[in-house]
Amino acid sequence: MSILGPRKTLGGAAAPGGSLKKTLGWPHLIALGVGAIVGTGIYTLIGVGAERAGPAVILAFVIAGAVCACAALAYAELATLIPAAGSAYTFSYTAMGETIAWMVGWALIIEYSLVCSTVAVGWSGYLVGWIQSAGVDLPTALLAGPHAGGVFNMPAVLVALAVMSLLIAGTRESATLNIILVIIKMTALTVFIIFALPAFDADNLTPFMPYGFGSSEIDGTKRGVMAAAAIVFFAFYGFDTVATSAEETKNPGRDLKIGIIGSMIACTAIYMIIAFAAVGAMPYLELADSPEPLALVLRSLGQVTAAQAIALAAVVALPSVILVFMYGQSRVFFTMARDGLLPQGLAKLSSKGAPTRITILSGLVSATIAGFFPIDELAELANAGTLVAFTSVAACMMILRRRAPDAERLFRCPQPYIVGTLAILGCLYLFFSLPSTTLVRFAIATAIGLVIYALYGRRHSRLRAG
């Protein structure tokens, strides 16, 4: 009997709308993972993290990375056990049923939409900084949302729409271009390390933990190592997007585990080095909240050319993160629509085998949000959705280990109950370390999702109809 149980046809070729074409190999998957993981989190949010934890932002990266590592192991097992589009949504549908799957799928939609918007805003910050460093002044009204004294962030809107157009061209073309953009990003980060690390000053690490370890509210803002970890957590996820590509992977048993775990290990090591170099080269109070912290560090060291190169690399390569997450969002939308929980017309594929209608919807939503909201609020709400999804994946792994212990697993998580429990506890700790306003917003968004499910999804579900 299929591990998918009663919905064994819902993720496969028998479903309306057809199956996605198998066009991706493991090099594409590693590039997708690295492309998603290495991006706005380290290029931009390191400044926000430093503002909340001081030099201990280094420790915040370690904690967030450890939680993600546990979640990554659960993802790797489930992605090879259930190689179908939809990621955490599909896993939850299989292990915990439709209602929980809807909630997880809705959380993923929130995550992916807001990640695209967050990265677009971060990209805009580097673009504006690069243009201004060249002596060109542009009207503030078109460069920032109302929170920063502008009307709307036009560069952020335009980049989101541009990536949407690229995705419509087809999956393989987008993934191949992504490999090139990943190389550009990694080269830029290497340049940063070369110039920043020799300027390391131990005095910049004192006091190391000015706001303590836990998450507590200080001057109206949550501060502390865990508060910083709850937002720099954004810098680590992205490996889950690889899992959404399972149905389009040529050899999922081999390629998915290489893509998920390989990209996670590589990016964790990179982040530690960059965070150490950044907070060691500049006092954290100067680094805090800069829209372009890495370029700022290099300019403070007199490396103007290198700073411009970093900013240019961010402008060129950060769209790859938007590409990866908009890709992931469209595949979650596609799977939910194919299952009848969203209008099945959205699952219609183009002649190239891509869900064009959903991609257009995803792009428009992400672009609109990016135009009006600040990067920290977007990242925090995106993290809330991600933490819910990660918690569900860890739970699904343990449930399916008990329910189907003999099912073929091309990758088996070591000590699954220990790893799964650590992932759940870590995600819950980070979730409740987020600002209370973020938790309220997420609760409202979740309630809206449940209303949509009650009014449409539950009535049109293919599982219930069958």
- pLDDT greater at residue 145 or residue 161: 161
> Which of the residue ranges 7-11, 133-137, 200-204, 305-309 would you say has the lowest mean pLDDT?
7-11
pLDDT of residue 384: 93
User: Which residue, chain included where needed, has tokens 């150490």?
Assistant: 276
* pLDDT at residue 352 is higher than 70: no
Which amino acid, 244? Answer: T
Residue 356, pLDDT > 70, answer yes
| pLDDT value at residue 100 | 93
pLDDT at 172: 55
Alpha-carbon dihedral sign for residues 161, 164, 168, 172 = positive
Q: Is the pTM of this model over 0.85?
A: no
For the record, the structure tokens of 299 come out as 């300019």
- Residues 324, 36: contact at Cβ < 8 Å? yes
DSSP character for 410? S
Q: Which of 235-249, 404-418, 428-442 is the least confident region?
A: 235-249
Closest CA relative to residue 368, chosen from 161, 162, 166: 161
Query: Predicted confidence band at 9 (pLDDT cuts at 50, 70, 90)?
Result: very low
Average pLDDT of the residues in 36-43 = 72
Is 160 within 8 Å of 322 (Cβ atoms)? yes
**CA-CA distance, 22 to 29, in Å (whole number)?**
12
**The CATH number of the domain covering residues in 24-457:** 1.20.1740.10
| Separation of alpha carbons 397 and 411, rounded Å | 12
Q: Which amino acid is it at 112?
A: Y
Reported confidence tier of residue 176, pLDDT bands at 50, 70, 90: low
Place of tokens 């490999």: 179
The span from the CA of 12 to the CA of 223, in Å, is 46
Flag whether pLDDT at 8 surpasses 50: no
pLDDT at 312 over 50: yes
Tell which wins on pLDDT, 455 or 250: 455
Query: According to the model, what pLDDT value does residue 465 have?
Result: 60
Amino acid making up residue 452? I
CA distance 141 to 144: 6
Look at residue 18 in the predicted model and tell me its pLDDT: 54
d(CA 229, CA 215): 9
* Share of residues in the chain with pLDDT > 70 (%): 89
**Residue 289 binned pLDDT confidence (cut-offs 50, 70, 90):** low
pLDDT value of residue 85: 67
- Please state, for a pLDDT cut of 90, what percent of the chain lies above it: 26
**Three-class secondary structure of residue 223 per DSSP:** strand
Distance from C-alpha of 174 to C-alpha of 282, rounded to nearest angstrom: 37
Closest CA to 408 of 159, 38, 150, 80: 80
In the predicted structure, residue 118 carries a pLDDT above the cut 80: yes
CA-nearest of 167, 8, 172, 179 to 83 is 8
The predicted model gives 55-67 an average pLDDT of 89
CA dist 118 and 436 (Å) reads: 20
pLDDT at 182: 73
Domain extents for the chain?
24-457
pLDDT of residue 397: 95
Asked whether residue 353 carries a pLDDT value surpassing 80, the answer given is no
**What average pLDDT does the structure give for the chain?**
83
Length of the chain equals 466
Radius of gyration, CA atoms only, the chain: 21
Q: Which of 240, 275, 245 is nearest to 69 (CA)?
A: 240
Coil, strand or helix: which one is 342? coil
Q: pLDDT at position 394, please?
A: 96
- Residues 396 and 57 sit within 8 Å (Cβ to Cβ): no
